[in-house]
């Protein structure tokens, strides 16, 4: 490291200046990172070993919250199962749906912009409470969905009232907002050089074969990224189950975060809710890690060839 | 051959049109229900055509509940969304410049921290942040909803950073030769050029703040301070609603600001999503 010396005092001064300005520019992030992310996360870890109820001081109770979670709380397992099912079905459903629509739109020349705009619309408004409220009415007993079924002569059903079907209304709501994934796929499709298709056409490859040997492999980086972000989002969904079904019937739509919310802000069971948050973080980290690990085998980066 | 091509096109467009109509049907249904008479909303519920246009749903809905009109809720939402958006865009642009253009010790570590923060769900810090803000006495104020945005939003930082990277470094160097300081380069060269990325971020920020439900649910307790999202939830609770038309009317109104921004700025959103490819 002594070799650095000959650069002289002038150089060193400049790099000091750069260090200071660099830190000055990112200082808002650093402040936020320490005060609003790092400290809260560590505090949450500490809380997960206590029985804090907001009123009295936190008591250290060791692993009690975790033991209670895994052995004494059926509702916890129920919410975990519901969330696994929700994320496990809704995420692939949305991604496949988005990819199919993007493929269809990619071939369209006329009015492509109009289709794209209209199909993206559900995603634009999707996060709003109004949409969840509308969904509740849409699938209600006398809502539009049943009314259409009746019109077609198909027996109606209490979609939100039946524990077997209620979760599906939330999954459909999630899939319905496929717009941003669709846009990302469209951008990915546009980036695939046309010459690849032309070359394989000369070799006599069918469109289906072309999809599997050209399109899909070249889209895998986009799919990977989408998948990870969507899984995190899927696990952390709250508003749909809170507004559309309020977790019912018989906890069949009790998403994890809704149960965590109830523990924290209805029962003021802050320690237990923190333990739940940590368990979820670990599950997500493991899942993300696994996806990244296996991605070596199925994600194709263009730069690999160069 | 020509004929075959045309048939294919017709089939393709028919399918796409049918599909698109199915997808936007729920939204159209909401708007049309807002114009139906309350008692007829669920008679032939599938129908999109009101027998008469009942605009008075909007007037009765606007009266709100507990003596507070929706005017209050809209103003509250606007204050929260605008201030938080301004805060997040200013801070995110400053931070993005630091990460994209200045070489300093430890940069890569902080960059990794930022990317990890971007992946970290809000729910992880929700409880400890609530306890912190509770201790500060910030419950039932807008501070917990607004202040954190002034520390930059990782997604926007990343998006603006990617954009800054497309600006040639020679521009910075030319400005430096002309005697511009680092801050000068930032304000005079970079900021004017990254306006599109700032716009994209601002639009997303506005959407998220306008739609935010969990934040207000946790932090606000006085109905006078409620934003539209929270007010609408209360207004529409299954056991309290009788006036369905009014409920749909206020639901429709609540998404109008989002619609307006979408139709005016959709170019920015589409570009922003397809270049960054992140949130969805």
Q: Is the confidence at residue A8, as pLDDT, over 60?
A: no
- Provide the chain A residues 124-153 that lie in CB contact (below 8 A) with chain B: 124-125, 127-131, 133-138, 140, 142-144, 146-148, 151
**What tokens were used for B57?**
């749903």
B165 touches chain A (CB under 8 A): no
Please report how many Cα atoms fall inside a 13 Å half-sphere around the Cα of residue A109, on the Cβ side.
2
Q: Is the confidence at residue A6, as pLDDT, over 60?
A: no
Pick from B248, B252, B280: which is nearest to A123 by CB?
B280
- Give A297→chain B minimum CA distance, Å: 22
Q: Is the confidence at residue B65, as pLDDT, over 80?
A: yes
Q: Do A25 and B95 make contact, defined as CB atoms within 8 angstroms?
A: yes
Question: What pLDDT, on a 0 to 100 scale, did the predictor assign at position A3?
Answer: 44
Percent composition of chain A: helix, strand, coil (DSSP 3-state, to 5): 75, 0, 25
pLDDT mean over B151-160: 94
pLDDT mean over B76-91: 97
Q: What percent of chain B has pLDDT over 90?
A: 63
Return the C-alpha torsion angle A113, A116, A122, A127, nearest 10.
-90
DSSP string, B183-232: HHIIIIIIHHHTHHHHHHHHHHHHHHHHH--HHHHHH---GGG--HHHHH
Q: Is the peptide bond before A249 cis (omega within 30 degrees of 0)?
A: yes
Q: Is the confidence at residue B115, as pLDDT, over 80?
A: yes
Q: Is the confidence at residue A187, as pLDDT, over 90?
A: no
- Distance, in Å, from the CA atom of B236 to the CA atom of B64, rounded to the nearest integer, reads 11
Pick from A47, A183, A277: which is nearest to B124 by CB?
A277
Write out pLDDT tens, residues B173-218: 899 898 888 889 999 889 999 999 999 999 999 999 999 999 999 9
**Which of the four pLDDT bands, split at 50, 70 and 90, describes residue A261?**
very high
A192 touches chain B (CB under 8 A): no
pLDDT mean over B241-253: 88
Cβ-based neighbours of B60, under 8 Å, separated by 6 or more: B243, B245, B246, B249
Q: What is the ipTM of this complex?
A: 0.89
- Tell which of A45, A130, A134, A135 to mutate to test the B interface (max B CBs under 10 Å): A130
Question: What pLDDT, on a 0 to 100 scale, did the predictor assign at position B279?
Answer: 40
- Provide the chain A residues 29-58 that lie in CB contact (below 8 A) with chain B: 29-33, 35-37, 39-41, 43-44, 47, 52, 54
- Distance, in Å, from the CA atom of A35 to the CA atom of A220, rounded to the nearest integer, reads 37
pLDDT mean over A82-104: 93
Number of CB pairs, chain A paired with chain B, less than 8 A apart:
258
Q: Do A115 and B275 make contact, defined as CB atoms within 8 angstroms?
A: no
pLDDT mean over A51-75: 92
Alpha-carbon distance values, B12 to A105, B19, B158 (Å): 10, 11, 38
- A93 exposure class (CB count in 10 Å sphere: 0-12, 13-18, 19+): middle
Question: What pLDDT, on a 0 to 100 scale, did the predictor assign at position B268?
Answer: 79
Phi, psi of A73 (to 5 degrees): -130, 95
Pick from B45, B105, B232: which is nearest to A143 by CB?
B45
**Which of the four pLDDT bands, split at 50, 70 and 90, describes residue B276?**
low
Cβ-based neighbours of B162, under 8 Å, separated by 6 or more: B197, B275, B276
Q: Is the confidence at residue B74, as pLDDT, over 60?
A: yes
**What tokens were used for A230?**
């969507």
Write out pLDDT tens, residues B32-58: 999 988 877 777 778 888 888 889 899
Pick from B16, B27, B230: which is nearest to A104 by CB?
B16
Please, are residues A101 and A177 in contact by the beta-carbon 8 Å criterion?
A: no
- Give A22→chain B minimum CA distance, Å: 5
Alpha-carbon distance values, B10 to A103, B16, B22, B112 (Å): 17, 10, 18, 50
Residues of A in contact with B241 (CB under 8 A): none
Phi, psi of B68 (to 5 degrees): -110, 125
Task: Choose from A14-18, A156-160, B43-47 the range with maximum mean pLDDT.
Answer: A156-160
A60 bridge partner residues: A50
Helix, coil or strand: residue B65? strand
- Distance, in Å, from the CA atom of B158 to the CA atom of B165, rounded to the nearest integer, reads 11
Question: What pLDDT, on a 0 to 100 scale, did the predictor assign at position B254?
Answer: 95
**The pTM of the whole model exceeds 0.80:** yes
Pick from B46, B107, B129: which is nearest to A36 by CB?
B129
Residues of A in contact with B19 (CB under 8 A): 101
């Amino acid at each position: 490291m002594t070799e650095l010396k000959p650069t002289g005092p002038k150089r060193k001064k400049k790099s000091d200046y750069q260090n200071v300005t660099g830190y000055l520019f990112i200082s808002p992030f650093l402040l936020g990172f320490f005060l609003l992310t790092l400290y809260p996360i560590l505090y949450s870890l500490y809380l997960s070993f206590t029985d804090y109820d907001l009123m009295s001081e936190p008591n250290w109770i060791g692993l009690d919250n975790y033991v209670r979670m895994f052995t004494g709380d059926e509702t916890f397992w129920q919410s975990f199962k519901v969330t696994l099912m929700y994320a496990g079905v809704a995420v692939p459903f949305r991604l496949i749906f988005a990819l199919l629509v993007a493929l269809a739109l990619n071939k369209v020349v006329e009015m492509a912009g109009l289709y794209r705009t209209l199909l993206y619309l559900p995603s634009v408004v999707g996060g709003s409470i109004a949409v969840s409220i509308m969904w509740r009415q849409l699938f209600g007993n006398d809502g539009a969905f049943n009314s259409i079924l009746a019109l077609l002569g198909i027996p109606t059903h209490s979609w939100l009232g039946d524990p077997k079907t209620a979760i599906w209304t939330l999954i459909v709501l999630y899939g319905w907002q496929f717009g941003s994934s669709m846009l990302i796929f469209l951008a990915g499709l546009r980036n695939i050089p046309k010459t690849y298709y032309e070359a394989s056409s000369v070799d006599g490859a069918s469109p289906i074969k072309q999809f599997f040997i050209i399109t899909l492999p070249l889209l895998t980086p986009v799919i990977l990224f989408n998948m990870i972000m969507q899984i995190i989002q899927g696990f952390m969904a709250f508003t749909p189950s809170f507004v559309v079904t309020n977790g019912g019937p018989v906890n069949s739509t009790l998403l994890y975060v809704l149960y965590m919310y109830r523990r924290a802000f209805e029962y003021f069971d802050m320690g237990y809710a923190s333990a739940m948050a940590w368990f979820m973080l670990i599950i997500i980290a493991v899942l993300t890690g696994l996806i990244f690990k296996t991605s070596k085998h199925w994600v194709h980066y263009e730069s690999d060839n160069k | 051959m020509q004929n075959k091509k045309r048939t294919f096109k017709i089939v393709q467009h028919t399918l796409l049109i049918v599909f698109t109509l199915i997808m936007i049907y729920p939204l159209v249904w909401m708007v049309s229900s807002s114009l139906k008479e309350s008692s007829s909303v669920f008679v032939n519920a599938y129908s999109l055509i009101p027998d008469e246009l009942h605009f008075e749903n909007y007037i009765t809905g606007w009266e709100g509940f507990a003596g507070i009109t929706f005017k209050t809720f809209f103003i509250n939402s606007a204050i929260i969304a605008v201030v938080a958006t301004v805060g997040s865009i200013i801070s995110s642009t400053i931070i993005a410049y630091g990460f994209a253009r200045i070489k300093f010790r430890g940069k890569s570590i902080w960059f990794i921290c930022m990317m990890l923060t971007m992946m970290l769900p809000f729910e992880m810090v929700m409880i400890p942040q609530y306890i912190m803000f509770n201790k500060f006495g910030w419950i039932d104020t807008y501070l917990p909803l607004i202040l954190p945005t002034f520390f930059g939003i990782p997604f926007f930082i990343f998006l603006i950073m990617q954009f800054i990277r497309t600006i040639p470094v020679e521009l910075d160097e030319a400005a430096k030769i002309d005697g511009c300081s680092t801050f000068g380069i930032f304000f005079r060269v970079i900021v004017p050029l990254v306006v599109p990325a700032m716009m994209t971020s601002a639009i997303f920020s506005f959407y998220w703040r306008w739609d935010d439900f969990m934040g207000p649910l946790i932090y606000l307790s006085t109905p006078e301070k409620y934003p539209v999202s929270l007010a609408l939830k209360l207004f529409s609770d299954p056991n309290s609603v009788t006036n369905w038309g009014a409920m749909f009317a206020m639901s429709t109104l609540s998404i109008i600001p989002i619609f307006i921004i979408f139709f005016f700025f959709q170019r920015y959103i589409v570009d922003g999503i397809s270049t960054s490819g992140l949130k969805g």
